Structure 1
Amino acid sequence: MSQDTLTPDSVPKADGMPVLGLGTWQNEDHDQCADSVATALEMGYRHIDTAQAYGNEAAVGDGIAQADVDREDVFLATKVWISNLEHDDVLSSTEASLEKLGVDYVDLLYVHWPSGEYDPEGTLSAFDQLVDEGKVKNVGVSNFEPEHVDEAIDTLDADVFANQFECHPLLPQEELRAHCDDAGVNVVAYSPLARGKVFDVPEIQRIAEKHDASAAAVSLAWLRRKGVTAIPKATSEEHIRDNWASLSVDLDADDVAAIDAIDEREREVDPDFAPW
């Protein structure tokens, strides 16, 4: 598939979720964020990821409104922050998120971290209620370790649709990915380019040259081969387009093996309240 032939319909999906999305973490300037979202949607992206903690839900909503794309064609995800995870706070903060986003529902609502006010029974019963009310289509978790994933599966009435966590060639997360796969939980990778560190990895540079592609595109293609959905953050049209072009990069088995063999490890997101 060449970049010129890429269309929204040609993007692979995982249970209806496009496997390439636009991340918006640290995209805090309202106009820039809205423009990034609109640019991505006009280009063909149909998966947009935000969070309460990003402070840009209103900008994301404006970007969706600006684009000539129907709301029902956009897979929209947001996350409930750790200070809003008591039952009633989940309900009220999600209502606020919907208002900021300018939508009646989100396609995926995540627990951002199993930290702070997180309580499986109280928190997840609110998520189930939001599903029952039609305000949330799918329930997700983020930064959950295997034991937290299992606990959420046992507690929720709804299925755990996805676990979003840091994943890239320098933090492949084999054990966690395998656990989610066995449990039927989709994996969504944030920071899929290790905040740019993958650009300097010789193996990835070599494979990028082989495919006449960028290091970013190769890293995203590797994640796709692993069955992982990626949501790279990008603000400029150039970077949004380069990430989009990753869909036309078809890595062979030798490429994948070479990336798998990289032994450098880097975790970019490691707050003191992390569960690991």
Structure 2
Amino acid sequence: MNYGLYLSASGVLTNMYRQDVFANNLANADTAGFKPDFADLMQRAPEATEKNLSFDVSQQLLDRLGGGVLAAAGRTSFKQGALKHTGINTDIGLSQPKQFLAVEDQENGADVVRLTRDGRISMNSEGYLVLPNGKRVLDQSDKPILVERARPFFISPAGEVMQDGQAITKLQVAKVENTDVLVKRGSGLFAIDDLNQREVLENVLVKPGFIENSAVDPITSLMNMINATKAATGNAKMIQYHDTFMDRAVNTLGRVTA
């Protein structure tokens, strides 16, 4: 086995993964409320250590080389994005990084609660308040918010849904202290398996007429993607070198020896 070939292959695969993550961040640089992901790598232990082999099987040189690299568990940055003024009184911006709006989603045919930072709220044809992805916005009791279609509505700084100067209900703004429990589900949504980790806030302060911009730094994401591409290309070159060495060993050195 050409050990270096496998080490280089692991470098190609993990850096292609990094490319995908950074490209996705860059593609969402203008997506409201988007949170960028990190693409971390981890060292893989030598096979003798990984499989707990005996010392007579272990090879000192290969053990020192290590086992290459692996993709580490994904992480998401929940840093606050800049608030952008839209002038639309149904838009709201959340000014605290660990606060989220609650929306309704479907999973295996059942209604589930998802969280989001996207505050672009509108009314659908049935009178329910929804996000651009069509998910219905929930009140503090996890119920979809229904308003009268014939009358305009707006959101107050206290998160109240107002019609004709009266509060109809209140948006659910939840706080998640440990954001590690949140898992991305696409369309700006986060899943939370244990709803006990969600604190439904009674007193909130939102910013009507604003939305949160993406927290992606386009320049940093572009540079990260370029670096990942260079690393993947470099490891691919190493695979070519290993292939050339094996070709020379078999077809040149082997023939001379014979």
Structure with max Cα Rg: 2
Q: Which has the higher helix share?
A: 1
TM-score clears 0.5: no
> Please, what TM-score do these two structures have when normalized by structure 1?
0.22
Greater relative contact order: 1 or 2 (C-alpha under 8 angstroms, separation 6 or more)?
2
